[in-house]
Chain A
C-alpha cells in the first residue's frame, strides 16, 4: 500500500487533489481511497488530506501515520505543522516552491506549482488552485500514470486549463 499525505491551506485544492489522485489510481486498475481530516476548516487554514493506493481493496479508515510521500502545497504551514511527522525513512517530500528544501534522510523535490497555476490562470477568489498540477507531479514520480491522470481530470473538470496545468507540472518536474 502506498500512502500519501498532502498539507495545504483551505482553498488551494489539496482535498480535490487527493480525490483526483484516487480516481487516477482506479483508472490505472488499482484500488484507492482519499479523505481529508476535517476540523473547523475554512479558507486559509492548514488542511491535511490523505490518499491510499493498493492492489487490493483498502479497508483502513484510520488516519495515515507513516506516509510514503508528503506533499506540501504551502511551505508556510511548516512553521506550525511538522510535515515530516511519521514519514517513512527514505520517504519522499515534495514542496510547492521555486526554492529547493533539503530534508535530511528523505528524497526531497521542489516545483513551483503556484507559478504553473498563475500561468494557466487557475485562480479562484484571488488564490491559485494547485490540485491538477499536484496530480501531474505524482504522475512524474510514477505513482499514477499520466494517461490516467489526464483521464481523471477530464472526468472531474471541463476546463482544459486543468489538464494543461497537470501536463505543465509533469513536464517541469525534475526527478
Chain B
C-alpha cells in the first residue's frame, strides 16, 4: 500500500511485520520515533512482542542477547552514543552467533554535542562481526529491515545485522512508502544452538586458544558466505515485491570517467550531482555503497574515484576511502564531508568531482588539501 512515512516509521512498520518476539530498546535522538512507534504497536496489541523497558543501551543489547539465545527473533534500535555504550555487547552478539537485527540512526559523536547525521558511530562497530547496510530512502530503509531479519537468521549466516539510516536526513524525512505483505518471506527462526532445557549445554565458558581461533574463523567464513545469502535474499525480494537493490547502487557508471562513492543519503544527492555534471560534458557516475559489511568487491576499471566519507578515523583517514584503497589497490580523491550533519549539496558534490586531486584528502568546509 502506497503511503508516506518517515525513515523511523518505515523501520518500525517493517519490524512489526517481521514479528520479533522480544524488543528491548532505549530511546535516543534521532532514533526515538522507532521506540515510540514500536511501543505503541505492542501496547495496542498489533505486535505480540515482549517489550522490555531497559535502563541503558548496554542493557538493551544484553536483553536481546539473552532473548535471542533462547531462539526467538529480537530487535533493537539505537544511535551514536547509545551504540557506543552497547559496544561490549555488540561484540558478544556477533561472537555468540545471534541473529539480532538493530536499526542504527547514524548520528555524530560528542563532544561537541551534536545530534545530526554522521557515520562514525557505525564505523566504530565495523570490526565486531555485524553485517552493516546503509539505506538512502524511506522505502529502502523499510525493504532492507525486512531483508535484514531473513539474512541474519539464515543458517549460513547467523550473525547480527545493523540497518543504518542517516539521522534526521532520513530518519525524519517524510517520503513515499509502499508497504508489502511479507507472507512467508521471513521464515520462522531455527537457532541451532538455542538454549534447550531438555538438552543442557554450557554457554560463555572459558575457551582456549585453539577453539577460540576456530570460532573467529567461523565468523569470518559466515561473513563471506553472507554475500551469497544477501544476493539470494535480494533476488527473492525482487521476485516477490519488485524492488531490487544489491551491494551497490550504480548510477550512470557504465561510461563514466569518474565515479563518486558514498553511503546513505549522500549517494542520492550524488546522483543529482552526476546529472548536473553530465550536462556540462563531464562523464560522472555514482556508486552508492549499500553493504559495508561484508565489504563487496568493487569494479572501477581504471576510472578516477572520488570517495566521500561522512566519518573519520583519526590518524588514518576516511574509513570508506581506506577500505577502497586497500581492497582495490588504487589511489582515490578522499573527501571528508557532512560530519555532524554538515550540509552537502549536489553542487558541492559536483565541485568535489571537478576539483578532484587523486591521492589527496580534502576536508570540505575546512578548505585545505592534506
* Cβ A32 vs Cβ B176 within 8 A: yes
- Is A10's beta carbon under 8 Å from chain B? no
- Is B75's beta carbon under 8 Å from chain A? no
Chain A residue numbers with a CB within 8 Å of B173 are 33-35, 61
Chain B residue numbers with a CB within 8 Å of A58 are 175
Interface size on B, residues (CB 8 A): 24
* Cβ A35 vs Cβ B2 within 8 A: no
* Cβ B4 vs Cβ A26 within 8 A: yes
* Distance A35 CA – B175 CA, assembled complex (angstroms): 9
Flag A57-92 by CB within 8 Å of B: 1 or 0 each: 011111101000000000000000000000000000
* Cβ A60 vs Cβ B272 within 8 A: yes
Given contact pairs A23-B3, A26-B2, A26-B4, A59 touches B172 in the complex (Cβ within 8 A):
no
* Distance A18 CA – B4 CA, assembled complex (angstroms): 12
- Is B174's beta carbon under 8 Å from chain A? yes
Flag A24-53 by CB within 8 Å of B: 1 or 0 each: 001000011111101000000000000000
- Is A22's beta carbon under 8 Å from chain B? yes
Which of chain A's residues has its CB closest to B348's CB?
A62
Chain B residue numbers with a CB within 8 Å of A147 are none
- Is B153's beta carbon under 8 Å from chain A? no
A91 to chain B, nearest CB (A): 20
Q: Which of B54-62, B263-271, B316-324 contacts A (4 or more CB under 8 A)?
A: B263-271
Which of chain A's residues has its CB closest to B175's CB?
A33
Chain B residue numbers with a CB within 8 Å of A60 are 268-269, 272, 345-346
Interface size on A, residues (CB 8 A): 20
Given contact pairs A32-B176, A34-B173, A36-B172, A22 touches B346 in the complex (Cβ within 8 A):
no
* Distance A46 CA – B334 CA, assembled complex (angstroms): 37
* Cβ B172 vs Cβ A61 within 8 A: no
**Chain B, 262-284, CB within 8 A of any chain A CB:** 265-266, 268-269, 271-272
* Cβ A59 vs Cβ B272 within 8 A: yes
A40 to chain B, nearest CB (A): 9
Chain B residue numbers with a CB within 8 Å of A19 are 4, 174
* Cβ A22 vs Cβ B169 within 8 A: no
* Cβ B174 vs Cβ A59 within 8 A: no
* Cβ B168 vs Cβ A38 within 8 A: yes
B214 to chain A, nearest CB (A): 45
Flag B271-304 by CB within 8 Å of A: 1 or 0 each: 1100000000000000000000000000000000
- Is B220's beta carbon under 8 Å from chain A? no
**Chain B, 116-166, CB within 8 A of any chain A CB:** 166
* Distance A19 CA – B268 CA, assembled complex (angstroms): 21
Chain B residue numbers with a CB within 8 Å of A63 are 343
**Chain B, 68-107, CB within 8 A of any chain A CB:** none
Which of chain A's residues has its CB closest to B347's CB?
A62
Which of chain A's residues has its CB closest to B176's CB?
A26
Interface residues of A (CB under 8 A from B): 18-19, 22-23, 26, 31-36, 38, 58-63, 65, 155
Interface residues of B (CB under 8 A from A): 2-4, 30, 115, 166, 168-170, 172-176, 265-266, 268-269, 271-272, 343-346
List 10 interface pairs A-B (beta carbons < 8 Å), by A numbering. Answer: A18-B174, A26-B176, A32-B176, A35-B173, A38-B172, A59-B268, A59-B269, A61-B169, A62-B269, A62-B343
